[in-house]
Chains A and B, each alone.
Chain A
Amino acid sequence: MSEPTNDQKPDLVESPEEAASSGTLAARLSLSHRAGGVVVPVLTVVLAFLLGGLVVLATGHNPLLAYRDIFDGAGLNWIFHPTTNVQSSIAAYNLTQTLLQATTLIFTGLAVAFAFRCGMFNIGGEGQYLVGLVVANWIGVSFSGMSTLPHVLFAIIAATLAGAAWAGIAGVLKATTGAHEVISTIMLNWIAIYTATWLFGAGGPLQTTAAGQSTNPVSNDIAHSAELPVIWGSKGFQGLDIGFFIAIAALVVFWALINRTTLGYEVRAVGFNPDAAAYGGINVKKNVIRAMAISGAFAGLGGAVDMLGYLYHYGALDVQNSAAGGVGFIGIAVALLGRNTAVGVFFGSLLFGGLIYGTTQGLSSNVIQPELASNLTLIIEGLVVLFIGADLLILYVWNSRKRLRPQRRAQAPAKAAA
C-alpha cells in the first residue's frame, strides 16, 4: 500500500525489501523499470544464455559452437557480408525469416504488455492469435471477388475484433465474477486450439475443398486479393511482407495509446492501484474489460498479418504443434524483457525471433540438432521470465550499482588531492 514515490522520497527506495513486497504487479514492474534501465534486461539475457549453455555443455555439446550456429541460423551473419554469394543469399533468406518471426512476436508481445499495464497477466495470447488466424483465413478464402484493399482491410479488422472478443471473455469474467485471468485465458487457449483443430481437420468447415484432398487436414489458400505485398524475398519462399511495417505501426499505436490518451492513463492508473483509481473516479471494471479486449486485439491482428502475409493456409497439425511454447507464450518473455514498453517489445521480439528461427528451420549444424535446439529456446525463455519476475534480484543489482557510484565519487576527490 505504501508505494514509495521516487521523486519525493529517494531515501525510501534504498530499502528494496519494502518496495517489492507491496503494490500490484504493474506498480512493481514500473518500479523495476525506473530502477533498471537497460542493464537489467541485458544482464537477464546474458545469465539465461549462460545457464542454457550449461545445459548444452552438460549434455555433451560445445555451447559456443552451438550458439554460433544458432546466430548463423538466424541469418545475423548477413550483417558481416559472407564471402560467397550462396552463403550471402542463405543468410539473407534466414534474416527475412527472423524478421517474419519477430513480426509475430511484436504483436503477441504487445498483447501481453498492454494487459500488464492494467495489472493483468494475459497468458492467452496463443488463443487470441489463433482466433485471429482462423478468422483471417476464413475471410481470405471466402469473399474472393473483392478487390485487394477492401479485402485485406476487411480480413484484418474482423480478425482484430475476433481477437478482442476472445480476450474480452476473460476480461468480462474478471470484472463480473473475479475469475483470475491466468486460468481463464489458459482455458480459452485450449478451447481455441481444439476448435481450430476441428475447423481445419478432416471434414471440418474450413478444411480444403481441393480435389483429392479430403483427408488432408489443412485449410484452403486465401485468395490472391487478400495477400499482403512482399517487400524482401519472393512470395513463393515466404518473403518478408509489409506485415513488418504494420507491426512497427502497432508499436507506435501502443506507445501513443498508453502514454498520450485518457484511455491509457486510466488503464495505467488501474494497473498501479485499482483502489486509488476507483477513488479517483475511474471505472475499474470497465478498464479491466477494455484493457483485456485491446490486448486481445493486438494478438488477433498478429494472427491476421501472419495469415495474409506469408502463411496463406493453416493446418490442424500446425495448431497442435504450436500448442506448447507457441508465439503467444514467447510473447510473455518478450513483453517482460521489454519492460512492457513499445521500444522494449521491439528489441525483445528481435531477440526471440532470431532465437526461434535460428534454433529451428534456419539451423544447419553438426553441433546441435534443431530438434534439440528448439527446446533450448524454451529453456532460455523460461529463465528470462524467471529472472525478470524476481524484481528483488533486479533491485539488488540496481542498488549495488547505485552504492558503487558514491564510492567512486568519493574516490575521485581523494585522487585529485593526492
Chain B
Amino acid sequence: MTAWGQGLENPVSERLRDPASTGYVALGLGAFAAFLAIPPIEARSPTWPIVVGIVATALGIWTASRGRRRLGWGAAATGLLGIGLGILATRSGTGNLESVFDATLIAQTFGLATPLVFGAIAGMFSERSGVINIGLEGMMLMGAFWGVYGSDRGGSWVVGLLVGMASGGVLALVYAYFAIHLRADQIVGGTAVNFLAVGITGYFFQQFYNGQVSGQVSTVPNVHIAGLGHFLENSIGDLSLLTWASFALVIVSYVVLFKTPIGLRIRACGEHPRAADTVGINVYAIRYCCVVLSGLLVATGGVYLSLGPQGNGTFIFDMTSGKGFIALAAMIFGNWRPAGAFAAALLFGFSSALALKLQVYSTQAATLFSILPYVLTLVAVAGVIGRTVAPAADGKPYAKQ
C-alpha cells in the first residue's frame, strides 16, 4: 500500500532505486523460475529454472539487506521454491505435465475461486462498516443448503438462489443483532453463528432429505461462449453464471465502496464511528445493512457450492469445509480492497485447482495435496508480503452517546 502510494508521487528513477521494486521483481522471477518448466514453455533441462531462481533469490536477499526484510525474504523463499518446483517439473513426464497445466486449470481456478470471491467481498462490506464477520462460513453453509431446498421445492435455480440468499441474510440479521445491539464479542458471536449453521443445515437436511438429496434439482446454468479459439474456450468458454456474477461483483463493490457517498459512509463507520455519528450518519443502520448484505453475498457463494457445476445440485453435511475462513483470509490478504481480495481469492482458487489436478501423479497422496490451500492461507495471514491495515474501528462495538 505505502510502497505503491509513494511510487505514484515519486519520479520513475526514484521508484527503481526503492528496494521494494527490486523485491517485487525478485518475487516475479521466483514464480517465473517454476513457470519455465511447465507448459506452454516447458523447458526440459533444469538449468533455466535454476539460473532464474538463483537470480530471484539473490535479488531477494539484496532487498532484505536494504530494509524491506519481509518482502525480501519472501522473494528469496519464492526463488528457492521456484528452483525446487522447476526441477520437479523437469523430472516428471510431459504427459502428466500437460494434463495438469492446460486450459481447464484456468477454468477450475475461476470455478473454485467463485465462492471465495463472494465470501471475501461479503466480509469486506461487513468489516469496512466496522463489524468483523467470522460467521461467513456458517452463512455460506446456510446458502448452500437452503439453495438446494429452494431449487427442489420451487423447481427453479432462481428460487433456490433467492431462498439461499435469504437464509444467509436472516442468519446475518441475527448475528447483527447480537454484534451491534447487544454488543456481544464479535469473534465469539461469529463462531456461534458457524455452529448454529452446521446444526440447522444438518438438522433440516436430515428432516427433509434423510441425509441425501434424491433426484436432480435445477442447477445454475453455465454461460457458453463459442468462437474464441481452443484455449480460450476451454478456459473461460464454459464458466458458471455465478462465476461471471462474481467478476461483476468485484467491479460493482469497488465503485460502491470508493466512488459513491454511500461507500464513504460505510467506510466512515468502520474507521471512526463517533465522527460519522456526529455528521449525522446512522451508524447502527449502516452496520445492520452491511452485515445483512454480507450475509446475502456470502450465501450466494454458498448457493454456487451446491447448485454450481461442482455441487451439481447436491448438498453434503458441512460442505463449506473452511471456505468461509479462506475467504476471510483472502479479504485480509487483499487488504480490505475488492481488487486485492479478488486476486487473493484467485490465488487460493488456483491452489485448490492445482491440488485437484495433481492427483494424476499419485491418487494415494491426493488427500495430502488437499492441504495446499490451507497452508497457503496460513502463509498469507502470517503476512509474508507486506502488512495489511484493517479498518480502525473493525470489531469494536459502537455505543451511541
Contacts and interface: CB of A to CB of B under 8 A. Distances in A.
B196 interface: yes
Interface stretch (B250-258, B303-311, B369-377): B369-377
Given A323-B321, A375-B203, A389 B383 contact: no
A59 interface: yes
Contact of B198 (A371, A378, A389, A392): A378
Nearest to A376: B203
Contacts of A376: 199, 203
A21 B325 contact: no
Contact of B399 (A21, A332, A382): A21
Contact of B374 (A187, A203, A378): A187
B328 A382 contact: no
A195 interface: yes
Contacts of A386: 178, 184, 189, 192-193, 196
B51 interface: no
B2 interface: no
Interface in B198-214: 198-200, 202-204, 206-207, 210-211
A20 interface: yes
B317 A183 contact: no
Interface in B314-330: 317-318, 321-322, 325, 328-329
B195 A180 contact: no
Interface in A367-414: 369, 371-372, 374-386, 388-393
B211 A371 contact: yes
B378 A198 contact: no
Contact of B381 (A180, A189, A377, A390): A180
Nearest to A380: B199
Contact of A325 (B318, B371, B377, B381): B318
B185 interface: yes
A25 B329 CA distance: 22
B195 A177 contact: no
B133 to A, nearest CB: 12
B196 A379 contact: yes
B111 interface: no
A382 B197 CA distance: 8
Interface stretch (B14-22, B100-108, B288-296, B360-368): B360-368
B364 A379 contact: no
Contacts, number: 171
Contacts of A173: 378, 381-382
B188 interface: yes
A315 B208 CA distance: 30
Given A177-B383, A179-B381, A386-B178, A20 B318 contact: no
B187 A121 contact: yes
B397 interface: yes
B199 A379 contact: yes
Contact of A388 (B188, B364, B368): B188
A252 to B, nearest CB: 27
A182 B185 contact: no
Given A184-B378, A379-B199, A390 B178 contact: yes
Q: Is chain A's binding surface mostly helix, strand, loop or mixed? A: helix
Contacts of A184: 378, 381-382
A404 B12 CA distance: 72
B187 A385 contact: no
Given A187-B378, A323-B321, A378-B199, A203 B364 contact: yes
Interface string A223-252: 000000000000000000000000000000
27 contacts: A55-B200, A55-B203, A59-B203, A177-B383, A183-B329, A187-B374, A187-B381, A188-B378, A190-B371, A191-B378, A332-B191, A369-B206, A371-B211, A372-B203, A375-B198, A375-B199, A377-B199, A379-B203, A385-B191, A386-B192, A386-B196, A388-B188, A389-B184, A389-B188, A389-B191, A390-B182, A390-B183
Interface of B: 134, 178, 182-185, 187-189, 191-200, 202-204, 206-207, 210-211, 317-318, 321-322, 325, 328-329, 332, 364-365, 367-368, 370-371, 374-375, 377-378, 381-383, 387, 396-399
The 10 closest A-B pairs by CB, nearest first: A378-B199, A382-B196, A389-B188, A382-B195, A324-B318, A379-B199, A386-B192, A390-B184, A385-B192, A375-B202
Given A17-B183, A392-B183, 18 more contacts: A177-B382, A183-B328, A183-B332, A186-B325, A187-B322, A187-B374, A194-B367, A197-B367, A198-B365, A336-B188, A371-B211, A375-B203, A378-B195, A378-B198, A380-B199, A382-B196, A382-B199, A388-B188
